Structures are given as structure tokens and as C-alpha cells.
Homo-oligomer: A and B are copies of this chain.
Amino acid sequence: MSTAVRERLSPSSFIGVKGEGIISFGSGQPDLPPPPEAFEALGRFRDFRYGLIQGLPELREELGGHYPESTPANVVITNGASEALDLALRVIARREGPGAPKVLMARPYYYSYPEVARFAGLEPVFVRTVDGRIDLDDFSSKVEGCRAVIINSPSNPTGRVEDVGTLVEIERITARAGIYVLSDEVYKDLMYERENYLINGPRVVTINSFSKTYSMCGFRIGYLWSLDPDLVSDVVSMKTHTSMNTNILAQEMALAASRAPRAYIERQLEIWRARRDLIYRGLTDLGLDVWRPEGAFYVMPRVRDPEDFVWRLYREHKVITYLGAWFGSPTRVRLSYALDIEKIEAGLSRIRAYLDGR
């Protein structure tokens, strides 16, 4: 492939790519199946009409129950967390607000954050991280000039969980300044150690999804939650024109999944933890500098030549990894370990072969 083609490589070059013999540490996609309850919803489904734009009332009732002081009116069901974030940013961009039309986010960041901010007409501003976690001093010095901040703990791509003290302080600073916090909590059920803390407050917009907890990526069911009734109303108004209701069948599947026993999530978590232990030890044994993953299913080793690493691993060893540069971290690469143990081991062997120059 020419340099020009390599320069055009992006995560979307790999999303959905499946091929003979390829081991993909690329897309953040669970390989474990959804709870069987989700598919049981399919057999009896016969409705085909528009649903409420805001989402299925029973599903919003279920989700509202997970948040303080909430009713179904605080929840909007969306086409994945992606649409929730897009709509929230577009609505916030159209408002008068404190600060410039800027959005603060940690770097490394999930690759969509700067893009959706720019698409909404907002400028991304980046907070320094130390060992994959937010530098609170840098955050404090930059936040006052911003309209909103995005928090993502556990984090894609770093796999790290923010300190509770940091999250409480972010909550305090933003509440005082009236700055929106978009808290992307799609990995909140995938934590291996440390405490987490879910940010709350009148200007908080929590973004979540059934993709990771319930392995339902392809069905695109996410949601946002907020105590700000004007923001919820504006999001619903915008969605009325930009996509209408979220797929009604996927909402039924999500409702069925949400009623699966808690043991489903706990069993999955044990599988993820074993994979985390394996890949962390494997990459460390290869002599790579990595942050110990605490949540989600990503790990970001530092490598000597990230472009060569990603490109030659793909071409010569059939292993997909993602460039750290796509996440604002040009000295690293990102591996998703959403793979069974055998594939992780085989992938680690191929990485060893690449590093040994074989």
C-alpha cells in the first residue's frame, strides 16, 4: 500500500473487517454474546410503526430507575452512545453559555470526540493526562474557557479509571461555573479494580449504551440521561428531525437485556478480567511500556514506530491494531482485547515475531 493510502488509514478502515486468519485487536467490540433474553424479544415482535421520539416508555422507566431523582422524562434513547453525544453537543453548541464554544476533553481521547465536537461547531481543547489519567491542575486551568467537558471513565483508549477525588473535583468546578459535563459511562460495568464515581448534577449529561455491557454493538442502542429538562427537550426536538425514533425492535431487545439477571454481567466481567491479566502480562513480558488496564477492554503500549507497528503487523502478520495517533497519542498503539484467550495468545506471539523482526 502506498504512503498516500497509509495516510488515509483510519479506524473506519477496519470497522467490520473480518477476514481469514486475521486477529483483530482493533474495534472495541465484545465477542461475547448478548444475554439470550435479547434475542427472545425477536420471535414475538410484530410492530412496525413509529415509536415515540424520546424512546420506549418501559425502557426509559427501567433506565430512569438507575439514576437519582429521575423519571422516564430524564432519559432519551438514541442510536448508540455516538448519537447521544452528537445530539448533546449540537444542542449545547446552539445555546448561549458561559465560556467560548469549546469542549474540554482528556488526551488520549476516544477518536470520535474531537470530530463530533467539530461537526457541532465546537473547538476541542485537550487536557494533559499523567499515566493515562486527567491532570487536575491542567483541567482547572483550561475549564473556565469552555462550554462543556467530556469525561470518560473507564476510558477508551487508555483503559484507566479516574481517581474518585478527581471526578468529585470536576463535578464541583463545573457545577460552580455552570459548565455542561458529558459523562460517557459506556464502560461503567467493566471495571477490574479501583472505585468508580458517577458524576451527577444539574448540568450533567450522562451517556451510556447497551453495546458494551450487553454486547449489542450492531443494534445501536444508547441513551442519555439528564436532570436538565430544557436540554432533554431540545435533544428530543432535534432528534425528531435528524433521525426520529431509535429502531423500535432494538429498544425491545435492550429492555429484555436490561432484565437479564445481574449474574450475566458478573460472568462477563470475570472473562474480561482473565483477558486483561493475560494481555497485560504478555505485553509487559514483551518489554513494552503499558498502563495497567483498570476498566473497559483496551491497552495502550508505547512502541518505537507506531506506524510501522500497525501497518506491518496488519500486512505481514494479519493482526489489526489501531494507531495511538487516532486517539491523540502518537507514541502509542491501542489494542482492544475483546478476543478469546487463544486468539489473544496467538496475537501476542505474532506481535513477538514482529518485534523480533521475523
Contacts and interface: CB of A to CB of B under 8 A. Distances in A.
B50 A217 contact: yes
Interface in A82-126: 82-83, 86, 90, 111-112, 115-116, 119, 121
Contacts of A15: 50, 52-53, 240, 244-245
Contact of A245 (B11, B16, B46, B240): B16
Interface stretch (A67-75, A154-162, A246-254, A346-354): A246-254
A215 B46 CA distance: 12
A29 interface: yes
Interface string A227-261: 00000000011101111111111100000000000
A80 interface: yes
A314 interface: no
Contacts of A43: 42-43
A12 interface: yes
A328 interface: no
A119 B31 CA distance: 37
From A42, A46, A51, A111, residue with most partner B Cβ within 10 Å: A42
A197 interface: no
A107 B33 CA distance: 49
Given A48-B217, A119-B241, 16 more contacts: A11-B240, A12-B240, A15-B245, A16-B51, A33-B48, A42-B42, A48-B215, A51-B218, A79-B79, A79-B243, A80-B244, A82-B244, A86-B241, A111-B241, A121-B121, A247-B249
